[in-house]
Amino acid sequence: MSTAYSYACKDCEGMEDCPGKVVAATEDEVWKLMELHAVVAHGEDPSSWDGETREYLKTLVTPE
Ligand SMILES: [Zn+2]
């Protein structure tokens, strides 16, 4: 039985209209894909995310 973690962008505050969702086997991979999504889809710079932002995003990465 395999586990998967996912992050749905629409769960993020202010991103309700974004259809972006990433799924991967590990939380680490989800983070990488989430950061890539933020760059490509939202023009964000993940290296500028502060601890509070990361703590918040962490709550949105859920096992499925
Ligand atoms: Zn998005």
Query: Domain map of the chain by residue range?
Result: 5-63
User: What is the pLDDT, as a whole number, of residue 50?
Assistant: 97
CA of 45 to the centre of ligand 1 (A): 13
pLDDT tens for each residue of the chain, 64 residues long: 688 999 999 999 999 999 999 999 999 999 999 999 999 999 999 999 999 999 999 999 999 8
CA of 28 to the centre of ligand 1 (A): 18
User: What is the pLDDT, as a whole number, of residue 26?
Assistant: 97
User: What is the pLDDT, as a whole number, of residue 2?
Assistant: 80
Q: 12, 20 in Cβ contact below 8 A? A: no
User: What is the pLDDT, as a whole number, of residue 53?
Assistant: 96
Quote the pTM value.
0.90
